[in-house]
Amino acid sequence: MVLPTGFALPPLPYLVVLVGGVVLIAALLVALEPPVDQRTVVALAPWMALGGALHALNQPPIELYDAALAPLFGTPSVYLTTFNTMGTVWLLLSFLGVRLGHDENIPRNLGLVGTGILTVILVLSAITALRSGIIDPVWSPLAVLLSLFVAAIAVLAVALWRTPLVIRARYAAPVVIFAHVFDGISTAIGTDVLGVSERSPVPRAIMEFAGGLPTASTIGSGWLFVLVKLVVAVAVVVLMDDYLQEEPVEASLLLSLVAAVGLGPATNNVVLFLFAG
């Protein structure tokens, strides 16, 4: 089994609308050709996190959505829902940027809108957890702070090792590395501290292996997953260096996808941690 537990396509009418929206919006973006570079990776980061947050609010014990809306936020439909929302905003900002003659501001504005929406969702999640009386205010911020610290050390280490590479990938590299460190650390906290079972088979297999090592009784089993995620993220950044110089648009979009694989699940984890009290 490769897919995570709970992976299920939404009912056909929802699927048709979501897929149709993705195709239409993607075609319009290709036709419009908004500027895409490393700044786009940064601009898309809050939208990646937003998808994870929206999915978390569809899971027990939260389950905030009405039955008619819930199919839009399952797995994998939440990715399509988030893309359609982000793509619509991107198109509107692109039209506005071209009209005003400031298309260089499109990535910045896309990131600002995404950050604003994400902030509202996170605040509402915290308020909901507080009202429910089961809020845990510790592990979510701790996961973020630990991830920022470890990612900063990793980026610094790569900069000392391959200084020109980090200078060239100064926007994309930190986002990719942080996204996967965040996923690793939040997953480790969920498994070793909160006793949450991992839904995805690959992380689960890695931590089951670590759980059989002599170190398991001392430092748990999540550390190996953090290490694997960190090594993979750094390897991707290093291997993408030439591609990023030769094909900056394609490479930036690919790095965005790589970051999303880490940042979405990590945000899902920390939103759920709020309700772990």
Convert the pLDDT of each residue in 136-155 to its tens digit.
Answer: 789 999 999 999 999 999 99
Look at residue 241 and tell me whether its pLDDT is greater than 90. yes
Return the pLDDT at 215: 84
User: Cβ contacts of residue 125 below 8 Å, gap of 6+?
Assistant: 53, 56, 57, 62, 271, 274
Question: What average pLDDT does range 238-253 have in this prediction?
Answer: 95
Look-up: residue for tokens 């650390």?
185
Question: What average pLDDT does range 122-126 have in this prediction?
Answer: 92
Average pLDDT of the residues of the chain: 92
- At 5, the pLDDT band (50, 70, 90 cuts) reads low
Look at residue 14 and tell me whether its pLDDT is greater than 60. yes
CA distance 199 to 268: 12
Both structure tokens of 173: 């590299």
Distances (CA, A) of 188 to 28, 158, 161, 207: 40, 23, 27, 9
Record the pTM: 0.94
Contact in structure between 176 and 237 (CB atoms under 8 Å): yes
- At 4, the pLDDT band (50, 70, 90 cuts) reads low
Q: What are the pLDDT digits (tens) for 185-205?
A: 999 999 999 888 777 888 889
Look at residue 1 and tell me whether its pLDDT is greater than 60. no
CA distance 120 to 138: 20
Distance of CA 126 to the CA centre of its chain: 19
Return the pLDDT at 2: 56
Neighbouring C-beta atoms of residue 3, cutoff 10 Å: 12
Calculate what percentage of the chain has a pLDDT beyond 70.
97
Look at residue 55 and tell me whether its pLDDT is greater than 90. yes
